Amino acid sequence: MGPSISKGGALFNGLDVLEVVCSDPHGLGVSEIARLSNLDKGNVHRILRSLEGRGYIEQDKQSKKYKASSQVLSLARSVLRGLDIIAVARPIMRELSSESGESVHLAQRTRNGGVYIAQERQRGRITIETEIGASPIIYATATGKALLCCEEWAIVETLLNGPLIKFTPNTIETPSLYKKELAKVRDFGFAVDNEELTNDVRCAAAPIFDVTGAVIACVGMSGPSSRIDIERLSVMGRLVSDAAREITTKAGGHYPDEIGSRSHMQST
Domain co-membership, 213 together with 91: yes
pLDDT for 123 equals 72
CATH at 118: 3.30.450.40
Whether 138 and 221 map to the same domain: the answer is yes
CATH number of the domain that residue 49 is part of: 1.10.10.10
The arrangement of strands across the sheet holding 113-120 comes to: 113-120, 103-110, 215-224, 201-209, 191-194
Angstrom distance (rounded) from CA 245 to CA 101: 20
Q: What is the pLDDT of residues 189-236, one digit of tens each?
A: 999 999 999 999 999 999 999 888 999 999 999 999 988 999 999 999
Q: Identify whether the C-beta of residue 139 lies closer than 8 Å to the C-beta of residue 158.
A: no
Residues 86 and 48 in one domain: no
Q: Do residues 247 and 147 both lie within one domain?
A: yes
Q: Do 156 and 57 belong together in one domain?
A: no
Q: How many domains does the chain have?
A: 2
Whether 2 is covered by a domain: the verdict is no
pLDDT of residue 121: 82
| Pair (148, 28) in one structural domain | no
Domain span at 91: 77-267
Number of CB atoms found within 10 A of residue 5's CB: 11
Predicted pLDDT of residue 3: 41
The reported pLDDT for the residue numbered 84 is 80
> Which of 44, 68, 92 marks a domain boundary?
68
Establish if 234 belongs to a structural domain: yes
Q: What is the pLDDT of residue 267?
A: 45
Give dist(CA 93, CA 217) in Å, integer.
Answer: 13
Q: What pLDDT, on the 0 to 100 scale, is given for residue 63?
A: 92
Is 203 contained in some domain?
Answer: yes
**Which residues of the chain carry a pLDDT beneath 70?**
1-8, 73-83, 124-129, 263-268
Q: What's residue 77's pLDDT?
A: 58
**81 and 49 assigned to the same domain:** no
Task: Kindly state whether residues 89 and 112 are assigned to the same domain.
Answer: yes
